[in-house]
Amino acid sequence: MLVGGAADVLVVGGGPGGCAAAIMLARMGRRVLLLEKDQHPRFHIGESLLPMSMPIFAALGVRESLEALGVIKRGADFPSGNEDGYQVFRFVRTLHPTCPYALQIRRADLDQVLFAAAQKAGVTTLENTLVEEVRFLGDSVEVTARTAQGERVRYGARYLIDASGRDTLLGRLLQLKQADRRHRSAAMYAHFSGVTRRSGDDAGNISIYRVADGWVWVIPLPGGITSIGLVCGPSTLRNRGGDNEGFLHRMLQANAQLAGRIAAARIVGHLHATGNYSYRCREWAGPRWIMVGDAAAFVDPIFSSGVHIALQSSLDAATLVDRALDESACERTLQSAYSARQGAALRRLSWFIVRFNTPVMSRLFSNPQNGWRVEEAVISMLAGDFYRDEGIAWRLSVFKLIYALACLGHVRAAFSGALQIWRRRRQVFE
């Protein structure tokens, strides 16, 4: 057993959340050690970003670099009966405009740029280093990691930030992880060539399509590549039959509008399937540790919230850790406020996610109304503005009332939607 160095803060995970937290803490004068299990660049899902992340990228010093590598995303579109066949929610129409666009970008590029920025900020980084054990020793924490050569090395720190993503390091080791019963889903996705894009300013839109038992994302990436993913019930994926490529093509072609866009498409790489898609940890922080991003929770990615939640939670966590290192007596109070803030953001998203595939929600998204600027509040949520209020919360409450009234007016459609939700909750993961 080798013994590595000690640090003020040890960050596990070199994705957006881990790098953002490491950069901010290094700027605060903390000694930061970041351990990443893989080698950059590496493939990862989560390629569609949100406008509210753009100021964070600017603060981290990487916005210009990322814009040079991505496709400009000015909105999200959903099927509609209008003359275009789709309804666009443009980010320029948010309630409190922050940035009128976001990016569609390969995660390998995003993560590599952020990892390099962490190194430039003075963070000590180690790749190909998989953390296997964690021990809390009173006023410090110690991890045991395995290198690519098979060596086991111990590292110590005063605080641990778990940014391990869907590996959920502490969630597993502390037995805090649990399936999210409201968002039981699985996914299959791949990169395609030959997908028809929208015209003009809409060329970079993320497009969302509904299919039987789920939905599909279409994300334009640089170089003529398009990321397409199917999110569905676990049983649909479990009982797919045949090869993965054939199953994915059949499911995508079942939507007539989408079938037209993929008539000449073919898979060119990164075909993956995953179950147990959504989960939460019962606790997100404790003595000398805190979780950020997907390490704490992952919800259905219908609104592309993953990267933004990772970034914002990491900035919040960095501020918390910096203060807790100097004022340990306030740690628990700070952690309670942190958990409440993250939980509120997820609840705001979850209400929409649970109901998204219902017939009533489909009608509302196909024919949006902006009375009391409710549509702008919904667009604000789509843009990632789910951490602050400033008039957004009460307008989303009005939208919920509109949804409830629409359900009363479409009892059969509402019953069908409720039945879909009930069936999803009844499914059991593999």
Which amino acid would we find at residue 166? R
DSSP labels for 21-56? HHHHHHHTT--EEEE-SS-SS---S--B--GGGHHH
Does the pLDDT at position 425 exceed 70?
no
330/287 Cα distance (integer angstroms):
11
Rounding to the nearest 10 degrees, give the CA dihedral for residues 265, 267, 270, 271.
Answer: 110
Predicted confidence at residue 409, as pLDDT, reads: 73
Does the pLDDT at position 413 exceed 80?
no
Cis-peptide into 359, omega within 30 deg: no
DSSP labels for 159-180? EEEE--GGG-HHHHHTT-EEE-
Does the pLDDT at position 262 exceed 50?
yes
Q: Where are the domains of the chain?
A: 2-70+106-179+279-343, 345-426
Which residues does residue 2 pair with via DSSP β-bridges, in sequence order? 153
Segment 257-261 shows an average pLDDT of 96
Nearest CA-CA partner of 20 in 292, 279, 404: 292
Predicted confidence at residue 428, as pLDDT, reads: 45
Residue with tokens 């900020």, as numbered in its chain: 121
Is there a contact between 89 and 76 (Cβ–Cβ < 8 Å)?
yes
Burial status of residue 154 (CB atoms within 10 A of its CB: 0-12, 13-18, 19 or more): middle
DSSP, res 234: H
Which amino acid would we find at residue 97? P
Segment 96-106 shows an average pLDDT of 96
Q: Which CATH architecture has domain 2-70+106-179+279-343?
A: 3-Layer(bba) Sandwich (3.50)
Higher pLDDT, 416 or 135: 135
Is there a contact between 166 and 45 (Cβ–Cβ < 8 Å)?
no
Rounding to the nearest 10 degrees, give the CA dihedral for residues 37, 40, 46, 51.
Answer: 120
Is there a contact between 52 and 308 (Cβ–Cβ < 8 Å)?
yes
pTM: 0.93
Does the pLDDT at position 332 exceed 60?
yes
Two structure tokens written together for 92: 């320029």
Poorest-confidence range of 80-84, 189-193, 217-221?
A: 80-84
Is there a contact between 313 and 162 (Cβ–Cβ < 8 Å)?
no
227/243 Cα distance (integer angstroms):
19
Predicted confidence at residue 180, as pLDDT, reads: 80
Three-class SS state of 105:
coil
Strands (E), 148-222: 152-162, 177-179, 186-193, 206-211, 214-220
Predicted confidence at residue 430, as pLDDT, reads: 44
Does the pLDDT at position 417 exceed 90?
no
